[in-house]
Amino acid sequence: MSELPEEVEAFLVDLEKHLSPLPQAERRDIVAEIRSHLAERAGQGAGDLLAPFGTARAYAAAFLEERALETALAGGSSLAIGRALLRGARRIGWWYTVAALGLVQLLGAGLLALSVLKVFLPQRIGVFVGTGVFALGAYSGEAPAVEILGWWAIPVFALLGAAALWSARWMLRLLAGWRLARLRPALRA
């Protein structure tokens, strides 16, 4: 095997490092294949060998995330999409974003649950207003408070809950689609 320039060797070491979530055999196989490719291109007298590969991290991500994101998007569950998004996340912002969207989903599920509970506990569920009191959901405080929604609590909570669930899911799918598009930049522009 011919000698490869130092920066190419460094790229291959980096690539293997960034492929670390994959099993060792698969990782080594990918690196050996790219090495063989680059060695042949070097033998052809190619100039900038690494230009078509981008950074080692981005290139590794194409192997790691594309499959995970595609599977999650096809499956459609918010949990799967969130996990796929976090799988390759290197920036803390992704964790905050996915966590925030997860909280919005929990909130949505909670509101839906409240709209059902209202049927069984009409006195306790709703929007309560009193002196120094404003409570949304279930209220069991000491201070006197008046429930202002009445039976409207059922459609209001149901709609708000559905809107929260739907919008968080929509955002997750949007982010996953965007990431997937970013992962496939390797085709010549």
**Positions that interact with another protein (CB under 8 A):** 1-2, 29-30, 32-34, 36-37, 39-41, 43, 52-54, 59, 62-63, 66-67, 184, 186-189
Supply the minimum distance, in Å, between the C-beta of residue 29 and another protein.
7
In angstroms, give the least distance from the CB of 41 to another protein: 7
Nearer to another protein, 67 or 83 (CB): 67
Cβ proximity to another protein, 46 vs 103, nearer residue: 46
Nearest approach in angstroms of CB 7 to another protein is 16
Q: How far is the CB of 139 from another protein (least distance, A)?
A: 53
Nearer to another protein, 50 or 136 (CB): 50
| Per-residue three-class SS string for the chain | CCCCCHHHHHHHHHHHHHCCCCCHHHHHHHHHHHHHHHHHHHHCCCCCCCHHHCCHHHHHHHHHHHHHHHHHHHHCCHHHHHHHHHHCCCCHHHHHHHHHHHHHHHHHHHHHHHHHHHHHCCCCEEEEEECCEEEEEECCCCCCEEECCHHHHHHHHHHHHHHHHHHHHHHHHHHHHHHHHHHCCCCCC
Q: Closer to another protein at the Cβ: 58 or 136?
A: 58
